[in-house]
Amino acid sequence: MCVSRFRFAVCVAFCCAMVGPTLASQTAPANQIRRIYVEPFATREGSEALREDVLAELRKIKSVSLAGDESSADAILGGGGEVWIKGYRSHNPQLGKVPPNGTPIYTGFLSIELRDKTGQTLWSYLATPPAASGDVSKDLSILIAKKLDDALKQGEALTFTAPLPQPTTILKGAGATFPFPVYEKWFTNYRRENPSVQITYEPIGSAAGIGRLLAQSVDFGASDSPEVIHELAPGDEDKYLFFPSVVGAVVPVVNLPGLPRDIAFTPEALAGIYLGKIKKWNDPILTRINRGLRLPDLDIAVVHRADGSGTSYAWTDYLSKTSPEWKGQVGTSLAPKWPVGHEANGNDGVAKLVREQSGSIGYVEFIYALQNHLSYGRVRNRNGEFIPASLESIAAAASHSMKVSPDFKASIVDVPGAGVYPISSFTWIVVPARSADDTIRKALTGFLQWMLGPAQRQAAALGYLPIPKDLAKEEAAAIAKIH
């Protein structure tokens, strides 16, 4: 595979700066951010060229100036990730084979964060390259500068105060792999904010994690299914509280090397593949919706989760809502009876198996596709648009979900609206409604309140959307009432 001159190393060291532990810190509000220092990006090559392009675009923003070093800056901008060429688009559509001198087709991601000098995240974003670009570094730089300018104008970098110190406490959690990349980051950063609380988490899948919560062997669970308690312990729903943490997306990932663009899927096509009715990549159902794309005469190898999974719940919820045949034969579940396919544990396991097997298809949370260099398909939404997952298309789905029930359970799968990515989902932290241990309760509610504030600004760099602000306010009020 050809690689562009900009290959960004997968590295998030910029967001985990080693600073001395503090019990409380104050972050400069957006209207006080006047000078920004752009640190070298975590790249394997092309680092300085990318930095110069970003600096050139930031110079066009009149509300800020550029600092020559960190000491004279109000905030530091940095990032890491990887962008590569996955193919070429021919200048002559009549040619059967796409030459290497065609327009390069880029894929990948670049995680960006703006942080203050104590290491606190003020803003983050996940930049993905345009499909075709004459200068991918410049195009990414324009995008980053625009998104940062918009955030500063909207005052997204707000002041906050970190939680008060707690007695030394260890919180144990387990559950979904869907949000694990952002949870791992949160738990590490919260430890720096509040050294008296340490959080451990095992990403073992929604069913297994909530099972441990039900058995009282962990202090909290995590799931991408609002019905997980109902499925595992019917009648116990009132004993547990659900708090949305971030919004993510489940994407169909495929291993079909050499395609000049990402494959498009209708609900009928995805249901047909997972029902075992569509067995070849060049099946007429797929070729009709991918005109101009030469799909191979290759068997489809279906991959699905082996463990009880909230990601599977969101995936099968989408198929159930869009395919009467799927709903009638399989339905929506954490652990459905799959008609066909190979099994893998966790989002990372599915990604690994798809990456290793040519002709395979699976489903994973968005960031797992990016980090594993997997092509992810565009999915037809209720408006008839074929939409890829992105922060913008996930936000379009979340914007249609303002009517959340008092228990904070809501589905944003297959919601209507222009630009909506149809397999978007909240993911939840699940906690007992009553706690006999006052120390654990205070530590847990302290973290949950922090999660709704500064933690939300750390989500976008990993491909997750912060929860809507109105919903965060409602959650904060509910958390304060936990006893």
Helix (H, G, I), strand (E, B) or coil at 78: strand
7 band by pLDDT with thresholds 50, 70 and 90:
very low
Short-list 54, 110, 107, 40, CA closest to 81? 110
Q: Rounded to two decimals, what is the model's pTM? A: 0.80
Contact at 8 Å (CB) between 321 and 289? Answer: no
- The proportion of the chain whose per-residue pLDDT surpasses 70, expressed as a percent, equals 85
Short-list 334, 327, 271, CA closest to 306? 334
168 band by pLDDT with thresholds 50, 70 and 90:
confident
Q: What is the mean pLDDT of residues 453-474?
A: 92
Between 405 and 243, whose confidence is greater?
243
Contact at 8 Å (CB) between 413 and 427? Answer: no
- pLDDT at position 170: 94
pLDDT tens digit sequence for 398-444: 987 556 778 999 899 999 999 999 999 999 999 999 988 999 999 99
For residues 339 and 328, give the distance between their C-alpha atoms in angstroms, rounded to a whole number: 13
Helix (H, G, I), strand (E, B) or coil at 71: helix
* Residue 264 neighbours by CB under 8 Å, 6+ apart: 289, 290, 377, 378, 379, 380, 386
- pLDDT at position 17: 31
Complete domains list, the chain, with CATH: 7-153 (3.30.160), 169-244+428-479 (3.40.190.10), 249-398 (3.40.190.10)
Q: For residue 137, which amino acid is it?
A: S
Short-list 249, 216, 400, CA closest to 318? 249
- pLDDT at position 3: 39
pLDDT tens digit sequence for 317-340: 999 999 999 999 999 999 999 999
